[in-house]
Homo-oligomer: A and B are copies of this chain.
Amino acid sequence: MVLISEDNIATSQAIAAELKENILAGKYQPGARLVQDELAEEFRASRSPIREALRMLEADGLVTIKSHSGAWITELDFAEFEELYQIRERVEPLMLRLSIPHLTTKLIKELEATLEKLNEATTVQQFLKLDREFHLLTYEGAATSYLGDIVQRMWNTTQPYRRRYSQILEREHFTSAHLEHTLLMNAIKRADLDDAERILFGHIRRTRLELKDIKE
């Protein structure tokens, strides 16, 4: 009798998962080449599951495949980065709206704990990690099948760039973020859907514009 249906994961999926971790952790630079043979050796597998894993990561937006040529860590120019933020502005408020009514008290406590740690973060590293954790937690209540994928994908592909750009952000940015996070938390606790949407929209939009300023 099997209690937990462990869904016998294929090795291609395991490889994809591990590669994904590595990429998100910043092991590879955007634009870095991924050679099938090298990966095969690294993961002690043949090239077949590697190829499949690369296709999966392509679907996640982490890797870009060019036929007969190779695979690279996805690289964004600033226009693409900006585009992704514009999509986030539209899409994440919807996800938040769908999530809030189903947030359990346990999740809300978790959220508050994360927010507290986020406010005490001293390094940019910590800030980014906890910021991601906080926002994705606010979406936890949304039982979606597509929206969640889209949102995750955008957080994934923009990850290396958030890291890169955040280094040069002014202190002001972080205090604004801090205030907005607190407002968002309150709106969530009040279950005020419209207000929460509006705050989140503004939060993402402001970040986009500040990053754009840096670029110019």
- The residues of A with any CB-CB pair to B shorter than 8 Å are 7-10, 13, 48, 51-52, 55-56, 58-59, 61, 67-68, 80, 83-84, 86-87, 90-91, 93-94, 98, 144-147, 150, 154
- 30 example contacts (A-B, Cβ-Cβ < 8 A) are as follows A8-B67, A8-B68, A9-B67, A10-B67, A10-B68, A13-B67, A48-B48, A51-B52, A52-B52, A55-B55, A55-B59, A58-B59, A59-B59, A61-B146, A80-B145, A83-B144, A83-B146, A83-B147, A86-B98, A86-B147, A87-B91, A87-B94, A87-B146, A87-B147, A90-B90, A90-B91, A90-B93, A90-B94, A91-B91, A150-B150
Shortest distance from the beta carbon of A87 to any chain B beta carbon, whole Å = 6
| CB closest chain-B residue, reference A67 | B10
Contact of A80 among B8, B9, B59, B146 (CB under 8 A): B146
